[in-house]
Amino acid sequence: MAAPSEGKASRALVPVLAVALSGILLILIPLLATGWISFMIGVPGYGKYTLSNYTQVLFDPFGYRVFLNTLIFALGSTAMALIVAAPLAWSVARTDLPFRNTISFWLGMVLVIPGFLQGMGWALMLSPNIGILNRFLMELFGIEEAPFNIYSLGGMTFAQGLSLVPPAFFMLLPVFVGMDSSLEEAAFLSGAGKLRTFLRVNLPLAAPALVAAAIYVFVLAFALFEVPAVLGFPDRIFVFSTMLYFFVHIQQGTLPEYGLAAAYGSIVMIVSLLMATYYVKLIKQSRRFVTITGKGRRGRMVSLGKWRSPAFSVVAVYFILALVLPMLVLFYYSLLPFFKLPSLDAVSSFTFKNYVNVYTRQGALPLINTGILIAFVPVIVILVGTPISWLVVRSRLRGRFVIDNIAFLPLAVPRIVLSVSLLYLALVSRDFLPLYGTIFLIAIAHIIAFMSFATRTLNAAIIQIHTDLEDAGRVSGATVVRVLKRITAPLLKPALFAAWFWIMLLSFREVTMAVMLSSAESIVFPAQIWILLYARGILIHSICSLRRRCSL
């Protein structure tokens, strides 16, 4: 009698499984295509298969110099992010730091603002030619050369490190919040000070989470495009992401090198997946590490005493550097008809004409396209991600953890690599599937990229819901789809809203895929800003028609 019942249950899963597998297939197609494209050379759809792309990857000195730049950039950005984020997370979780309840909100603001806007702000402050701070120091001390140059590998690393503090902070904060205080109290009773206790007790307890955060931030920094493009192009400093951008955009007298870009991307994708797998293991270890270290009670708040004001001053300096100064400089220049150093004359020429021109010059198309993305991408991601998470957590389907691992893959794949694959596939299939140059291609890229965010959020939320109500619904004769719609989804409303809201923000601020995939008809706000302010920097392609002529 069990067999017919099991068969009926399996048939009931078909609609849910169909939606979930559609999402998994959408993720796999461009990732598998990356490997396929890496063996091709020539015009899309008419090229030939060859190993020459991998030969060039192995023996091209340009690639080695770029990877060295990228390694320095990623390691430096990761180190800076963790040096700031770890003490900040501990201070918010365990001390009486002033305004600690609002710090998480402001870090969320830093996270939401596109990195290239921060890079633009720093360029306007520390450009050797027009930087406000450089010009001020030159006039103040009577020097002829600018003391700072943000268009350097060090400048890129500094600006990127500031923007990577929030993700590291939000990963470390729960660890410090849930940490048992018994060892801290033992250290205090032994005469150890607050700083010594933090270095000798709190940091070792958080070591697995610190390593996991370091891996995550490093993988993220290795593939980021925004800040390296803004601050690297003017002095022709290439990292991995900007090198791929250079390969797939038409250069003077040459065709886009999709195969070479995919070969580089395949290698980095494999390394990223290995690091992401290790990252998942470390996350699991970190949770066990924290929960077995005591009686599970909340740690007491540590009084900073005389260090309370200095600690808050350090936090304020970070927010001034990461948020206030870049945004303030951008706002100042947005009110000017042309570049002027701050002065009474500059203030007298303030105008809102530039804001009016945002619409009159560009029209409503960027607004419409951006609205399409933030309206449809979060909804589709939630509609596909919810069945995936439900199957992984609730069903007994064989291979469900394979589905979960595939849904996690976009987190480990650099978005520049995903964009290269989708761009090539759109070119090859343009005759029967006209997606090339449309907003729908960008939307597909966003859906794939943000799927892992939705499934990570919903997996944890579904685990917290007991199965009794779902079982009662099925016993009453409701189908699996009806149970999901009438019982599970209402119980998941907070998690669904949180996932929808953050995916909407991420879709609004995403720059890399917009720049790679947009056209005149599919332009969105981030790509429009890129075109308006950095078209001159992109013209580097006409200067460096051969990679060997590009200085690093």
What is the reported pLDDT for 250? 58
The per-residue pLDDT of the chain, averaged, comes to 78
* Rounded CA separation 3/11 (Å): 12
pLDDT over 50 (residue 452): yes
Residue 72 has a CB neighbour count (10 Å cut-off) of: 15
Lowest mean pLDDT of 80-84, 462-466, 490-494, name the range: 462-466
What is the reported pLDDT for 25? 92
What is the reported pLDDT for 444? 93
What is the reported pLDDT for 211? 79
What is the reported pLDDT for 299? 54
**Taking the mean position of all CA atoms in its chain, how far away is CA 156?**
17
pLDDT over 50 (residue 62): yes
Lowest mean pLDDT of 15-24, 45-54, 90-99, 293-302, name the range: 293-302
Biggest CA pair distance of the chain = 93
What is the reported pLDDT for 551? 38
More confident residue, 179 or 365: 365
pTM of structure: 0.79
pLDDT over 90 (residue 443): yes
What is the reported pLDDT for 292? 38
What is the reported pLDDT for 498? 77
More confident residue, 536 or 189: 189
Under CATH, to which class is 59-331 assigned?
mainly alpha
- Residues 280-309 have a mean pLDDT of 58
Task: Show me where the domains of the chain are located.
Answer: 1-37+364-521, 59-331
pLDDT bracket for residue 464 (50, 70, 90): low
Could you read off the pLDDT of 193-235 as tens digits, one per residue? 666 766 666 667 667 777 777 887 888 888 888 889 888 888 8
What is the reported pLDDT for 273? 75
* CB contact at 8 A, 184 and 299: yes
- Residues 544-549 have a mean pLDDT of 38
Could you read off the pLDDT of 137-157 as tens digits, one per residue? 888 888 888 888 899 999 999
Could you read off the pLDDT of 318-357 as tens digits, one per residue? 999 998 988 888 888 888 887 777 777 778 888 888 777 7
What is the reported pLDDT for 2? 44
- Residues 367-377 have a mean pLDDT of 90
Percent of the chain with pLDDT over 70: 78
Name which of 268, 226, 530 is nearest 414 in CA terms: 268
* Rounded CA separation 154/151 (Å): 8
Could you read off the pLDDT of 280-293 as tens digits, one per residue? 665 555 444 443 34
Fold equal for 1-37+364-521 and 59-331: yes
Q: Which two tokens stand for residue 32?
A: 């598998």
Cβ burial of 541 (10 Å; 0-12, 13-18, 19+) is middle
* Rounded CA separation 486/16 (Å): 14
* Rounded CA separation 230/227 (Å): 5
As its CATH architecture, domain 1-37+364-521 has Orthogonal Bundle (1.10)
